[in-house]
């Protein structure tokens, strides 16, 4: 059994599975492969997405491990936005992109809502001039509540944003402070109320189970407040402490051996409590992390679902990740190196990896399993693989432990399995990737 499943204590390191094969096998030596893929016509039947990384924040959260910058001035921000536009201009000249329409767009970060209205309008006008998104199924936009005003929310809506995601995480000012969050409870309420008046198609609220200082009483209070807010969807993550976070650095300075957050059983129990409360108030559990409001028109996460089915996605910005015709690649992770490449008229690629067909199949299998259920027929039709036979040992083992059920038509995680989905997934990796 995976040590992630048997270990109760939260330890330093990454737990969340976001891709496959692991990033450790990606290499600068493979960048030429990514460039060769871009120089061939793309499959117009495969959905194409655009990810825009805005690497700026008012403050760096203590648990954050993303590439973000604080203490920047307007000139530096504007220069970065210029670079994003130049990067997209290089992409649209590639045969792979030529003539294709965007299916989804995602603004992530960092904090996209950190930008001023003027900066947002300038950036998106220039991006759309190269690659329009008027016909997309989804334009998602991440926000930090304290950066939002009613006028900015109206401007974001006018950009074509269909899903607004509010990084709430917690409602207690002391816990927000302990974890390095920039916003406070009052800003959450104000931003959410403004967003509701603007009438976005979907408003998502994020919570984190197990933040520093979080208690049982606090978690129940946070759950109650989210239920009262009645957003279209709720995303809940279980706290982890990767090595390059503020919490880990503080642990090193204090020579601390234990991570100052709740253990895994407590975090799972809290998520289970929130899921139960949401289900009792008109939500369906749609993945290991999301609850969606029951509506006549179903709530969707196009960006997530398309990527987990192997969609193409180009990405803009320092350290951002892309997926093109099955090849993975990441941009240069330091801003100076990224800028230098753009200024030299070169795509700022740092490392890449082209999986074999079996690895692509495994990638889709494990990512789709995070949705809570998948159809074996999908993999038979796309890859010619009987996943029940291919993964029989792992499936049978997890079934005996009560983590999932399966038959020839469907593999379905139980609630017990859903709450620890990321701990299950390495059992389906190839042997060389399981450590």
pLDDT digits 0-9 by tens, 386-398:
999 999 999 999 9
pLDDT of residue 1: 47
pLDDT digits (tens, 9 = 90+) for 65-120: 888 899 899 999 999 999 999 999 999 999 999 889 999 999 999 999 999 999 99
Q: CA of 364: how far to CAs of 42, 153, 312, 412, in Å?
A: 20, 35, 13, 15
Q: What is the pLDDT of residues 47-68, one digit of tens each?
A: 999 999 999 999 999 999 888 8
Q: Virtual CA dihedral for 317, 320, 323, 327, nearest 10 degrees?
A: 110
Report the run of H or E that residue 324 belongs to, with start and end: strand 321-324
Q: What is the pLDDT of residues 193-224, one digit of tens each?
A: 999 999 999 999 999 999 999 999 999 999 99
Beta-bridge mates of residue 207: 169, 236
Is the C-alpha dihedral spanning 29, 33, 39, 44 positive or negative? negative
Q: Is the pLDDT of residue 6 over 80?
A: no
Whether omega before 110 lies within 30 degrees of 0, making that bond cis, reads: yes
Adjacent-strand bridge partners of 27: 352
What are the boundaries of each domain within the chain? 3-306, 356-435
Axis crossing angle, helix 150-158 with helix 117-130, rounded to the nearest 10: 10
pLDDT at 5: 55
For residue 257, pLDDT over 90 is answered with no
Cβ atoms within 10 Å of 341's Cβ, excluding its own: 18
Q: What is the pLDDT of residue 396?
A: 97
Residue carrying structure tokens 């074999």: 356
Residue 242 has pLDDT above 50, yes or no: yes
Q: Find tokens 């998602």 and name the residue.
A: 140
- Mean pLDDT, residues 171-184: 96
Residue 232: helix, strand or coil by DSSP? coil
pLDDT tens track for 309-342 = 999 999 999 999 999 999 999 999 999 999 999 9
Task: Please say whether the beta carbons of 274 and 283 come within 8 A.
Answer: no
Q: How many Å apart are CA 83 and CA 205, to the nearest integer?
A: 30
pLDDT at residue 2 tops 70? no
- pLDDT, average across residues 377-402: 97
In this structure, are residues 210 and 273 in contact, taking their beta carbons and an 8 Å threshold?
no
- Among the residue ranges 161-170, 316-325, 380-389, 426-435, the one predicted with the least confidence is 426-435
Whether the pLDDT of residue 421 is over 60: the answer is yes
Question: pLDDT class for 234, splitting at 50, 70, 90?
Answer: very high
pLDDT at 29 over 80: yes
As a whole number of angstroms, the distance between CA 167 and CA 59 comes to 13
Rounded Cα–Cα distance for residues 260 and 343 (Å): 43
Q: How confident is the model at residue 159 (pLDDT cuts 50, 70, 90)?
A: very high
401 pLDDT above the threshold of 90: yes
DSSP 203: E
- In percent, how much of the chain has pLDDT > 70? 98
What pLDDT is stored for residue 255 in this prediction? Answer: 85
CATH architecture of 3-306: Alpha-Beta Horseshoe (3.80)
H-only helix segments in 69-184: 74-92, 117-130, 150-158, 173-178
CATH number of 356-435: 1.10.10.920
């Amino acid at each position: 059994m995976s040590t992630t499943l048997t270990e109760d204590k939260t330890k330093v390191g990454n737990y969340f599975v976001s891709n496959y094969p692991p990033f450790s096998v990606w290499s600068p030596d493979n960048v030429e492969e990514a460039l060769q893929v871009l120089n061939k016509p793309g499959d117009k039947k495969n959905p194409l997405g655009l990810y825009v990384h805005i690497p700026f924040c008012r403050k760096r959260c203590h648990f954050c491990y993303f590439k973000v910058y604080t203490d920047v001035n307007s000139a530096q921000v504007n220069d970065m936005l210029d670079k994003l536009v130049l990067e997209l201009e290089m992409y649209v000249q590639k045969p792979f992109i030529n003539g294709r329409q965007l299916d989804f767009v995602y603004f992530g970060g960092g904090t996209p809502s950190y930008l001023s209205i003027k900066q947002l309008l300038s950036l998106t006008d220039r991006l759309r001039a190269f690659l329009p998104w008027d016909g997309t199924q989804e334009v998602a936009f991440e926000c930090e509540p304290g950066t939002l005003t009613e006028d900015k929310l109206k401007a974001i809506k006018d950009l074509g944003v269909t899903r607004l995601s509010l990084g709430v995480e917690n409602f207690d000012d002391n816990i927000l402070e302990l974890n390095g969050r920039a916003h406070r409870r009052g800003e959450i309420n104000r931003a959410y109320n403004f967003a509701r008046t603007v009438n976005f198609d979907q408003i998502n609220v994020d919570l984190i189970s197990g933040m520093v200082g979080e208690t049982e009483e606090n978690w129940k209070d946070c759950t109650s407040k989210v239920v009262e807010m009645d957003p279209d969807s709720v995303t809940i993550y279980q706290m982890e402490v990767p090595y390059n976070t503020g919490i880990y650095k503080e642990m090193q300075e204090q020579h601390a051996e234990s991570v100052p957050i709740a253990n895994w059983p407590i975090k799972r129990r809290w998520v289970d409590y929130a899921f139960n409360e949401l289900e009792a108030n008109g939500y369906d559990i749609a993945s290991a992390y999301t609850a969606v409001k029951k509506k006549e028109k179903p709530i969707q996460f196009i960006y997530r679902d398309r990527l987990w089915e192997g969609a193409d996605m180009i990405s803009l910005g320092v350290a951002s990740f892309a997926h093109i015709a099955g090849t993975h690649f990441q941009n240069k992770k330091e801003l100076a190196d990224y800028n230098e490449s753009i200024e030299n008229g070169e795509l700022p690629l740092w490392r890449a990896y082209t999986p074999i067909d079996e690895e692509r199949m495994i990638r889709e299998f494990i990512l789709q399993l995070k949705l809570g259920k998948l159809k074996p027929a999908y993999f038979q039709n796309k890859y010619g693989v009987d996943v029940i036979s291919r993964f029989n040992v792992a499936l049978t083992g997890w079934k005996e432990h009560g983590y999932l059920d399966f038959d020839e038509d469907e593999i379905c995680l139980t609630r017990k399995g859903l709450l620890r989905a990321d701990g299950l997934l390495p059992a389906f990796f190839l042997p060389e990737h399981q450590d």
